[in-house]
Structure 1
Amino acid sequence: MRFLLLPICCALLLACATQPVGRSASSNGTPQRAATNPLFTDRHTADPAPLVVGDTLYLYVGHDMARGDQMFNITEWLVYSTTDMATWTAHGPVMKPTDFKWASRDAWASEAIEKDGKFYFYTTVEHDDTHPGKAIGVAVSDSPLGPFVDARGSALVSNDMTPQGPHTWDDIDPTVFIDDDGSAWLMWGNANFYYARLKPDMIELDGPIMQAELPKYEEGPWLHKRGELYYLTYASRDKSVSEDELISYATAPSVTGPWTYRGEISGPAQNSFTIHPGIVEFKGDWYFFYHHGGLTVGDQGGGLGRRAVAVEHLYYREDGSIVPITHTAEGVSRPRTR
C-alpha cells in the first residue's frame, strides 16, 4: 500500500508547488479572480517593489519570518508575478543576503529595474564587520525571476560613505530610476534622504552622494514619473496625526528637484509602525503597493516583523496631484471609479 501511494503523493506535491498562491488560488489549484488584500496569505511578506516587463508585473518582497517578540527576521527575497492583477504566481526566492559574500544578514527593502536586457536588483543588507552597518548591494540576472548574483563583489553604498547619518541604518531602502535621457539614479535613506547618479553600467556611482530636504521624511523613498512630473513618495512621520509612519509625496520638474511637498496620500498601516510604498503603471492603470500587519499565518499573528503586502488603485487629479488612498480589504477587486 505504501508503494502504491508514493506516485500519488509525489503528483500532489508537484501540483501544490506550481499552483498560484494566496487568495488568487483555490485549494484545488484553480485560479480565482479575487485580488483582495493581503495579496498572499500563506506567508508574511513586506516592502513590495513592483516591476513591469512586457505584459507581466513582477513583485519583489522580503519574507518576514519573525516569531514572538522578535522585531525583524527577513531571510530572503521572493518574487511573484501576475498578468491581470487578480491571479498571482509564486516563483520562490530570488536571492538571500549572504549571496553577497560581504553581507551577514537582513533581506531588507529592494527594487529591481531592467536595462539592456539585464535585470538589476538593488537591496539593503547588513554589512559584515569590515564596514559595520546597513549597506546597499546590487545584483544582476538575465531574468526578472533570477537567480540574482552579486554584480560588484562589494557594497555599492556602505555606512562609512555617509558619515553625516545619525545611525548605522541610514543607508537603506534603495529606489532606482532611469530617466528619459538614459541617466540612472539611486535614492535611499532613513532619517536622511540621499541620492546619486549611477554610471551606465548600473553598478557604480557616477559622482558624489547628495542630500535633499523633504518634509517629515523617515524612509522608504520610491521614485516614478507621470507625464512631465516626477513623484517622490516616501514613509513620513507626523506625530500630530499618528505615532506610526504615513505615506507622503513631493513632486518636481526634474529627477534632482527642486521638490515641492504635496501632502499625505496614505494613513498608517494596520498593526505596523512601518509602511513601504511601491507605485507602478500597468496596462494603463496605476497601482499603489504597501504592507500592513493584519495577517495571521499559523500560530503567528501579524505585526511589525510579520507584515503582509497589499495593493490599491491609484488615481491622479487633473492637476497631477494624487488622490488620497484608503486601505481596503477589497483591494483592486473593486472596480475602478475613475
Structure 2
Amino acid sequence: MRTNGIGRMAAALIALGLVASSSSAQNPAATAPGSNPLFRDKFTADPAPLVVGDRLYLYVGHDEAQRDEMFNMRDWLVYSTTDMKHWTDHGSIMKVSDFKWAKADAWAAQTIHKNGKFWFYAAVEHDDTHPGKAIAVAVSDTPTGPFVDARGSALITNEMTPKGTHSWEDIDPTVFTDTDGTSWIAWGNRQCYIARLKPNMIEIDGPITEITPPHFEEGPWLHKRGDLYYLTYASLDRSKHRDERVSYSTAPSITGPWTHRGELTGSGKYSFTIHPGIAEFKGNWYLFLHNATLAIGDLAGSIGRRAVTVERLQYRPDGTMIPVVQTDAGVTAPASVRR
C-alpha cells in the first residue's frame, strides 16, 4: 500500500510535482484488450493475483479519492480472466466496515486457496483499542466471496512488532504456502516481517522475524519457482530516487538467507508508490503493478488514484528475473528476452 507520515509526505510530493495533473495523466493510447491500465472505469491499486484452475483472479484496492484527497479506500474488488486480455468484473468482495474492529483504510490485500477455502489477508486501520495499522483475515468458499471476518479480531496489530519505527508498519500482507503445506505471511512498511501461520490460517505459529532487505519500503510479495524463493517488494533508495521501484531478493529457503538481487523494474509512471504481484498462469509468468496514468472524467491519477497494470515476467537460467520495462501495451506486446 504505502504511507510515510501522510500529511507531511503529501505536501512534499505536491511540491515536487509528483502528483499527476489533469494535463499530464492521460489514458494510454493503447486500448486493445490486455493493454495497460487493465481497468479504466475505476481507480485500482495493489494488485494480488491468484490462479484457480484455468482462471486468474486479481484482487485490487479501490480508491475513490476526490480532488485533494490522498486515499479514500473503503472496499476491495476482484476481476478474473482466462486469457490475460479479457477481464470479468466481479465487483466488491468485502468492505473495511465488515471488520467490526477496524475503522478505515481498505489497503493492500492478498487471497490464497488452502484447505478448500479462500483466505483473504488485508491491511486496515484498527480502532482505538489497538491504535495503528493491522492485518485482518477473512474467509470464503469461493474466490469471489462473500468473504467474512475469520477471527473477529486482527491477526497482527502494531503492538506485535514493537521494534518498528511508526504506526503504519503493519501493512501489505503477502501469504505463501510452501510445497510442504506450511503457510507463511510477510508484511511491512520500512521493516519487513515474516511469520509462520498455523494450519487454521488465522493464527501466527511461532515468532515474528524481521527480514528487511535493502531499501525495503513496503508491498512484499512471496513466491517460489523451482527450488528458489523470491521476496519482491517496493523499494526506495532515498539517496537516488524520489519514487518507489520494485526490487527483489532470493533464498534457498523461506527462512533465508536472502540475497539481494537489485531492481526488477523502475517506478510506475506518475506514481510515488508501486506494488508487485507475481503469478504463473498457463505456462507464462506475469508481474502485476500499478501506476497513475489513468484519468476518469476530471479526476487525474494521483498518489491515491492509481491504475493496475501487468507485464510479462521472464527468468534467466540461474533463476534471476530479467528486468521488466513497463509499457502501455502490456501483454499485447510481443514477448522479448533481455539478458
Same fold (TM over 0.5): yes
- For 1:205, what is the secondary structure of its paired residue? coil
The answer to whether the Cα contact below 8 Å between 2:193 and 2:212 also exists between their aligned partners in 1 is: no
Residue in 1 that maps onto 2:223: 224
Distance 2:33 2:137 in 1: 34
Distance 1:69 1:251 in 2: 39
Superposed CA deviations along residues 13-49 of structure 1, whole A, max 9, x for unmatched, are xxxxxxxxxx9xxxxxxxx962100000011000000
1:257 matched to 2:256? The reply is yes
Residue in 2 that maps onto 1:306: 305
Distance 1:335 1:88 in 2: 20
Equivalent residue pairs, number: 308
Q: What aligned pairs does 1:1-338 form with structure 2 within 5 A after superposition?
A: 34-338=33-337
Structure 1 residue 160, shift from structure 2 partner? 1.1
Distance 1:280 1:171 in 2: 24
- For 2:236, what is the secondary structure of its paired residue? strand
Q: Rate the CA distance shift 1:43–1:213 in 2: closer, same or farther, 3 A.
A: closer
Percent identity of the aligned residues? 64
Structure 1 residue 240, shift from structure 2 partner? 4.1
Superposed CA deviations along residues 63-100 of structure 1, whole A, max 9, x for unmatched, are 01111111111111000000000100100000011101
- For 1:243, what is the secondary structure of its paired residue? coil
Q: Which amino acid aligns with 2:185?
A: L
Distance 1:241 1:314 in 2: 25
Distance 1:241 1:191 in 2: 17
For the pair shown, which has the larger CA radius of gyration, 1 or 2? 1
Superposed CA deviations along residues 242-269 of structure 1, whole A, max 9, x for unmatched, are 2110100000000111000001011011
Q: Which amino acid aligns with 2:297?
A: G
Runs of 4+ in structure 1 over 3 Å off: none
Bigger mean CA deviation after superposition, 285-294 or 234-243 = 234-243
Q: Which amino acid aligns with 1:310?
A: T
The answer to whether the Cα contact below 8 Å between 1:75 and 1:105 also exists between their aligned partners in 2 is: yes
Structure 1 residue 213, shift from structure 2 partner? 3.1
Distance 2:254 2:78 in 1: 28
Structure 1 residue 239, shift from structure 2 partner? 2.9
Structure 1 residue 298, shift from structure 2 partner? 1.4
- For 2:159, what is the secondary structure of its paired residue? helix
Q: Which amino acid aligns with 1:122?
A: Y
Distance 1:222 1:39 in 2: 20
The answer to whether the Cα contact below 8 Å between 1:242 and 1:268 also exists between their aligned partners in 2 is: no
Distance 1:48 1:66 in 2: 18
Highest RCO, 1 vs 2 (Cα 8 Å, sep ≥ 6): 2
What TM-score, normalized to structure 2?
0.89
Distance 2:312 2:240 in 1: 23
Q: Which amino acid aligns with 2:266?
A: G
Q: Which amino acid aligns with 2:162?
A: P
The answer to whether the Cα contact below 8 Å between 2:279 and 2:286 also exists between their aligned partners in 1 is: yes
Distance 2:68 2:306 in 1: 14
Distance 2:74 2:308 in 1: 16
Distance 1:97 1:260 in 2: 36
Q: Which amino acid aligns with 1:168?
A: S
Q: Which amino acid aligns with 1:261?
A: H
Q: Which amino acid aligns with 1:276?
A: H
The answer to whether the Cα contact below 8 Å between 2:270 and 2:292 also exists between their aligned partners in 1 is: yes
Structure 1 residue 337, shift from structure 2 partner? 2.7
- For 1:332, what is the secondary structure of its paired residue? helix
Q: Which amino acid aligns with 1:207?
A: G
The answer to whether the Cα contact below 8 Å between 1:33 and 1:87 also exists between their aligned partners in 2 is: no
Distance 1:318 1:196 in 2: 30
- For 2:243, what is the secondary structure of its paired residue? strand
Structure 1 residue 164, shift from structure 2 partner? 1.1
Superposed CA deviations along residues 88-133 of structure 1, whole A, max 9, x for unmatched, are 0100000011101100111100000000210000000000010011
What TM-score, normalized to structure 1?
0.89
Distance 1:203 1:197 in 2: 11
Q: Which amino acid aligns with 2:98?
A: D
Q: Which amino acid aligns with 1:312?
A: E
